[in-house]
Amino acid sequence: MHVRTAEAATTLVWIDSEEAIIVRWADRATVERIRSNVPGRHRSSGHHRFDPLVRHGGGEADAAERARRNHLRAFLEEVAGHVPDADDVTVVGPGVVRERLERNLRSEDRKHGRRRHVHSAAAERLTEQELVAHVRELAGDAPHRLGVQE
């Protein structure tokens, strides 16, 4: 795990296709939730969508998938817009949406000459308390535990 020791803030983003939770630590935690309007994937038949033996027409299924990708792209742009440019960022979540956000942040950083750390790690759904504790630890400001001598 990357622990930051600098004075600047640290941001943790938990994301899936339904929601992003942005937790920022700069001497205290701030939490922001962004709900997605990305439609779920619908399968009208029992066939897997990418089965090479099943021919799909260019009709409704393709249009629905294009619309889904457009909604996802807009959602990722919105989330990235809420991540402060100067913060180191850790993106966590269960799947490919997390990976796409990480790639988008890195791409924008290269484009704008920003130098910050952007990390990504797989994670199941975490509570707000767990996210706050995690970002605090990443920022190097973990709380002292009672009963633990230093």
- The pLDDT value recorded for residue 46 is 44
Using one digit for the tens of pLDDT, what is the confidence trace for 60-74? 778 888 888 899 999
Phi, psi (5° rounding) for residue 83?
A: -95, 120
75 close to 38: Cβ distance less than 8 angstroms: yes
pLDDT digit string (tens) for 19-68?
A: 999 999 988 899 999 999 887 765 544 444 444 444 455 567 788 888 88
**Please, what is the Cα angle at 27 between 22 and 29, to 5 degrees?**
30
Determine the pLDDT at residue 147: 52
Distance CA 64, CA 45 (A): 15
Question: Per the structure block, which two tokens stand in for 138?
Answer: 């990443």
Instruction: Record the pTM.
Output: 0.76
| Residue 65: both structure tokens together | 């998938």
Six token digits for residue 21: 């939770």
Q: What pLDDT is recorded for position 145?
A: 58
* Residues 52 and 38: beta-carbon distance below 8 Å: no
The answer to whether 33 touches 44, Cβ cutoff 8 Å, is no
pLDDT digits (tens, 9 = 90+) for 73-113: 999 999 999 999 999 999 999 989 999 999 999 999 999 99
pLDDT score of 6: 47
Rg of the chain over CA atoms, in angstroms?
19
Q: What is the pLDDT of residue 4?
A: 45
CA dihedral sign, ordered 56, 59, 61, 67: positive
Return the DSSP state at 109.
H
Query: How far is residue 42's CA from residue 34's CA, in Å, rounded to a whole number?
Result: 23
